[in-house]
Structure 1
Amino acid sequence: MKNEVSQWLARDPDPVTREELKQLLEGDNQAELEDRFSSRLAFGTAGLRGIVGAGPNRMNRLVIQETALGLGQYLLTAAENAAMKGVIIGYDGRPDSKQFAEDAACMLMAKGIKVFLTAKVAPTPVVAFGIRQLGTAAGVVVTASHNPPVYNGFKVYWGNGAQIIPPHDAGIAAQIDIAATEALPSMSLEAGEQQGLLVWLTDDYYNQYRDALNTSRYLSNHTEPQGISLAYTSMHGVGADMAETLLKDAGFNQVYSVKAQREPDGAFPTVNFPNPEEEGAMDLVIAEAEKHGAVLACANDPDADRFAVAVKTENGDYKMLTGDQVGVLLGHYLLTHAVPEQCLVGTTIVSSSLLEQVAKSVDAGYFQTLTGFKWLTNVAMQQQTEQSQFLFAYEEALGYTVGNTVWDKDGLSALVAFAQLTAELAASDHTIWDRLEAIYREHGLYLNAQRSIALEPGAPPIGDTLRADPPQCIAGRKVMIVDDLKTSQKIHDDGKVEAIDLPPSDVLIYHLDDDSRVVVRPSGTEPKLKCYYEVIEAMSHEDTIEHAQQRAEEAMADLIAKHQASL
């Protein structure tokens, strides 16, 4: 390992991480050195994400430079006219992000590839938008999204505007491995600019995104926006300027931002975890909403690709909507403002199946994909036709995309669309809760939950164990159909087998006789099993939403407890 560390020190351009490594050597911290040098930070369909620090298994300037070189080499071989089309690069507000973005730009320019670099921090959707707007061969966002402060990331998009999927991830990874063994080229931003390889993206570019959203037919519902007020937080991220501008453009003149969280700050001082899903993360924006009596308490995550909302209830407090509830509300709303027979909507296998029922009821097209927004948008592009245009997709982890302005999740357009839905309802004396209840009354109350089970490191794959001895019942409910995505088969209880048109993945989906559903899949990053549950409770005309909710929660508790015990 000494040889590997010495080689790393000789290549590392950053005095901070070189000193960090020297301290580890002087302290003979073998465990830490082993962790940093036993493997390389894996490049996958989400690009790179990891803890910032010295060594190949961390995020640092050298890893970024080698990654950018690998990406550049792959683009030159796999993408037509890549050098001329170029790559757009943006970054979030974390301490190292600007430097990492500039390092990536310099490496790409050293390979003769044109770079469009944002002149300041940028929300992820604003960068993703530019891939098709500028016609680039690829895009990069330096961001760790809603991860803790010690993390950073390198997110890669292909020229179609969507996140990379196979085979591009493996192709780029192979070139990164080669780049890690070769001498690093030298190119400065100044030299790149002089050679015509660097284009700075300034306010004019950000306004192109703004104009695209303002002219989107899906965001043109201006029904009395002045009639509602909302509180907003960017959660110490980079979304505030654009979010506030877009809301103002749409006519919302009662918007109250959380001052303590408005400016980018990669230390995230007011939240334990900068993820709107985490307990306590929405406290300040809910307090801001209470202060002004606002209808909504809205949040973007730090790179503004996710959207979360708490809605005022009848008794004056605020209740968080789940990602599935927001997704169904937005999907239903957008379909009512379109010609549904000409629209296509989609979700992932672990999201609520309620949107599928809503789509079927109005003859809209529907598709389902593996988890991850990269699949939602890539599949949407493949499945849409002139007769069935893509309208909306979502995943339960607070990711939504409205129309095809951005082929990735976009928390900013979702914010505007949800505000417009709320204003339209308020204009007719209705609320978000009224609309949600109406959807439940028509289709049933769908309740979804997720639990994880820790596994022993090195334990045999639990999916294979379940396949070897498939359950006939789960929590007293008969298993009617099993979707085995590893074998791409839908297996009915009568023995009938159908093909499943999804990429192979180690996932099992159990459809039960009361229409409940259990999804089981191992985590791709740690030794644990993720289980997703869905129960459906029918509602009669005499039923109250409270009683139906109580029945659904009791059924869910029973399903989770008995299924977890069986594992």
Structure 2
Amino acid sequence: MSEASIEQLVQDWLRLDRDPASRKLVEDLWRAGDSKTLERYMRPRLEFGTAGLRGPMRAGWAGLNDLMVVQTCQGMGRYAANVIDNALTRGVVIGHDHRHNSRRWAEMAAESFSKQGYQVFLLRGLSFTPLVPFGVTHLRAAIGCMITASHNPGEDNGIKLYWENAVQIISPHDEGIAAAILQSLEPASWELLPTTPLVDHTSRVHDAYFTGVLPELMRPLGTSRTPLRIVHTSLHGVAEPFMRRAFALLGDSVEVFSVPQQSKPDPDFPTTPFPNPEEKGTLDLAISYADQLGVSCVYANDPDADRFSVAEKVGSEWKILTGNEVGVLLAATILHWHKEERRDISKVYMITTVVSSKMLQFMAEEEGFSYAECLTGFKNIGNLAGELEQAGHTVLFSYEEALGYAVSTHIKDKDGISTALVFAQLMLKAQQGFSLRAQLDALYAKYGYFVSSNGSVRCESASIQHIFAQLRYSGPEEQAVVYNDQALRYPEQLAGLAVTRIIDRTLGYDSAQATAASQLGTQAGQMVQFHASTRQFQIFLTIRASGTEPKVKYYLEGKSAVENKSDLDALVKSVAHEIVSKWLLVV
């Protein structure tokens, strides 16, 4: 489609689109000869991938709109019916968040799947994203569809698609669905709701989650005299009522204060245009409210409540924990629970991604449970967890550094609600004078000290290609290695440290393997990893291109003994400076 002329793209759009508003907009632009705007609206076509579809809400092939939603659901339904046994009778679970058009598109999806013969389970009201994959599992559905753009700005929306294993789709299904979409461009329906009755299992799914899954995550709370006081923000998203229902399980042990300006769903996100807890400043309003109340703890969910963030005040200073810090605290707590119950850990696994902290690996080596890592994205975590469970293992916990955590064996996707419930129980220790910082220090004393420094450089496509070409082909000629007919010349040193291992996830190269082939295969997009070390320090560095923004990101971590903490902090700071000033220099 990208090879077609603008005139052809416009004519194709007007032939297929049935939305009067978007048709009029495109017609007016065409009559006005506004080719610049039409170029932006018409190409490139919004691509379907393993994360589904996400983009700006606007007319044309390059945006998300009624026509693109219908075509996506037609393609997904067509492909799944051909691949999954009894897909039509098993059905599809559909949910939506609060964004502009989310309810409309969920209802259009319901009509599209119903028209194809699917039994449709449309969750009534607003949903937080993890309810859809949980619904797929609980109702034994064939597929799931969630209308959300997660933590994107308010002008965006998206479609997340889940396979029968209740995990977001991976290859080869993403390619298969993308091809099926292009074979299903003619809309077969354009209604908001099916003419046939829907099966409403909303209460059944909610009750199974809140009275089945969450109680399994509860442990004895002890005899605390005063409640743990928490300020919570939904960042204008859907989390508020679900969080309160979850925290009701804690009774009087926890007192929750919602940030008034951010507690109700608002698709315009008036106080936080980038409602991502990872973005600097996103928690400022919640922290300010906590200071007003004299509360020393802030919890945050992103708008669709699949991510979780926490900040703690110790003395007069607020500290927003990194995703890795939250991850290792959760891992240690869940492992402690497992050992307290005298359960066997020989078949227990914990999973994280190649860009997350290595601390979980060292914890596994010390404690005797198994550790596995996978390529980035919770779709890879969830699929690996499923494979391990089929092999007879128990996956106790999984996480990725981007604030995503799976704390229940019933859900293989990240879930900010169940995570908050577990973390609140963890923090009841902090109420007794054992702060999160103190808990982290205790873990560092046992497993080694870890410090991270993540960042990014904004650059266009040509600069991204240049950066990765420099990483692969600018090292000393005498150190060149030939892999798949390429002479690769990676850097030998990183801020004066000898590079001891190189893993090029894009090419599938791993210098530590006898065959030089990475055991995890290749990662879509650009990604190169470096390990460097001295007798005292270990450095782990990942450089990758963002899949959603024009950025190159770096993930840097150092490890040492606790007594070398200050030296490691200084070293990591020095390495981060060299990465930005030399390795990621945009030309």
**Fold agreement, TM-score > 0.5:** yes
1:558 aligns with 2:563: no
Distance 2:204 2:550 in 1: 46
1:480 aligns with 2:500: yes
Does structure 2 retain, via aligned residues, the 8 Å contact 1:228–1:295?
no
**Percent of pairs with identical residues:** 35
Q: How far does the alpha carbon of each residue in 1:210-233 deviate from its partner, in whole angstroms, 9 at most, with x for none?
A: 1123322x3334335753111111
Residue 31 of structure 1 deviates from its aligned partner by 1.1
**1:418-433 equivalent positions in 2, closer than 5 A:** 418-427=423-432, 429-433=433-437
Does structure 2 retain, via aligned residues, the 8 Å contact 1:214–1:220?
no
Greater mean alpha carbon deviation, residues 37-46 or residues 19-28: 19-28
Residue 360 of structure 1 deviates from its aligned partner by 1.6
Distance 2:221 2:309 in 1: 21
**1:116-515 equivalent positions in 2, closer than 5 A:** 116-180=121-185, 182-185=186-189, 189-193=193-197, 198-216=198-216, 218-224=217-223, 227-251=227-251, 252-313=253-314, 315-339=315-339, 340-384=345-389, 388-427=393-432, 429-458=433-462, 460=465, 462-467=467-472, 468-492=488-512, 499-505=517-523, 506-513=526-533, 514-515=537-538
Does structure 1 retain, via aligned residues, the 8 Å contact 2:528–2:542?
yes
SS at match of 2:273: coil
One-letter identity of the residue aligned with 2:559: I
Distance 1:6 1:347 in 2: 47
2:77 pairs with 61, 72, 77, which one?
A: 72
Distance 1:353 1:385 in 2: 26
Does structure 1 retain, via aligned residues, the 8 Å contact 2:71–2:187?
no
Does structure 2 retain, via aligned residues, the 8 Å contact 1:87–1:115?
yes
Does structure 1 retain, via aligned residues, the 8 Å contact 2:366–2:447?
no
Residue 3 of structure 1 deviates from its aligned partner by 3.6
What stretches of structure 1 of length at least 5 have no aligned partner? none
Distance 1:292 1:355 in 2: 35
Q: How far does the alpha carbon of each residue in 1:378-413 deviate from its partner, in whole angstroms, 9 at most, with x for none?
A: 111112367630011111111001022211000001
One-letter identity of the residue aligned with 2:122: L
Residue 14 of structure 1 deviates from its aligned partner by 2.1
Does structure 2 retain, via aligned residues, the 8 Å contact 1:214–1:250?
no
Greater mean alpha carbon deviation, residues 513-522 or residues 17-26: 17-26
Distance 2:21 2:172 in 1: 35
In the superposition, the TM-score normalised over structure 2's length comes to 0.89
SS at match of 2:338: coil
Residue 286 of structure 1 deviates from its aligned partner by 1.5
Residue 97 of structure 1 deviates from its aligned partner by 0.3
In the superposition, the TM-score normalised over structure 1's length comes to 0.92
Q: How far does the alpha carbon of each residue in 1:413-440 deviate from its partner, in whole angstroms, 9 at most, with x for none?
A: 110111000114434x422121111111
2:61 pairs with 37, 56, 61, which one?
A: 56
Residue 554 of structure 1 deviates from its aligned partner by 1.9
Distance 2:245 2:364 in 1: 32
One-letter identity of the residue aligned with 1:210: F
The aligned counterpart of 2:477 is none
Distance 1:142 1:122 in 2: 9
Does structure 1 retain, via aligned residues, the 8 Å contact 2:299–2:309?
yes
Distance 1:113 1:187 in 2: 16
Distance 1:526 1:435 in 2: 35
Greater mean alpha carbon deviation, residues 259-268 or residues 61-70: 259-268
Greater mean alpha carbon deviation, residues 333-342 or residues 375-384: 333-342
Distance 2:69 2:276 in 1: 25
Does structure 1 retain, via aligned residues, the 8 Å contact 2:54–2:158?
yes
Distance 2:497 2:317 in 1: 37
SS at match of 1:107: helix
One-letter identity of the residue aligned with 1:326: V
Residue 6 of structure 1 deviates from its aligned partner by 3.0
Does structure 1 retain, via aligned residues, the 8 Å contact 2:529–2:543?
yes
Q: How far does the alpha carbon of each residue in 1:28-54 deviate from its partner, in whole angstroms, 9 at most, with x for none?
A: 221110122132100000000000000
Distance 2:514 2:205 in 1: 55
Cα 1:483–1:363 change in 2 (3 A) is: same
Does structure 1 retain, via aligned residues, the 8 Å contact 2:154–2:273?
no
What stretches of structure 2 of length at least 5 have no aligned partner? 1-5, 340-344, 473-487
Aligned length: 550
